[in-house]
Structure 1
Amino acid sequence: MLKTFRAWLKGSHLEWIDDVPTLGEQQISVHVTLLENELVLDKKARGRRMAEILEKLALSESMADVDPVMWQQETRQDRSLPGR
């Protein structure tokens, strides 16, 4: 059974995050998949970009012809309550 261990790659060394494999000093073959690290992204830049997108969406008036009350009534799925 294959086991997965989480680690940080620092230069050419792995730093274990959670469980640490008990391998001793033996040399084993591994496969490393690099995942996108969202922590590296600048949170302020992401927030500004999101605000720009939402502003463009608001200016586009793409939902101007939608009646919010009718939309809610069509979308909402009421069910009969048990025992009533």
Structure 2
Amino acid sequence: MLRTYKAVLRGNRVEWIDAPPAPTRPTPVHITLLDENAEPARARGPEMARALEALAQRGGLSGIPDPVSWQRELRQERSLPGRGD
């Protein structure tokens, strides 16, 4: 099970914001750096509105005769992580 803790990386040290885990031995971790310069969703609003308008002009989901089989086809085409080729 993966657990998430908030922390700040300063150089090669991690400063915990949340209460740190209490491991009894060295514990492997994966650290994901957050992009502080990412655009907030509000700034992407006009782009999202254009995409939704384009979808509506094409008939949206009503343009798909059998949405269930369409979704099954999409799922079969996608490779699943950790499942090999």
TM-score normalised by structure 1 residue count: 0.42
Larger Rg: 1
State the structure with bigger RCO (CA 8 A, min sep 6), 1 or 2: 1
TM-score with structure 2 length normalisation?
Answer: 0.41
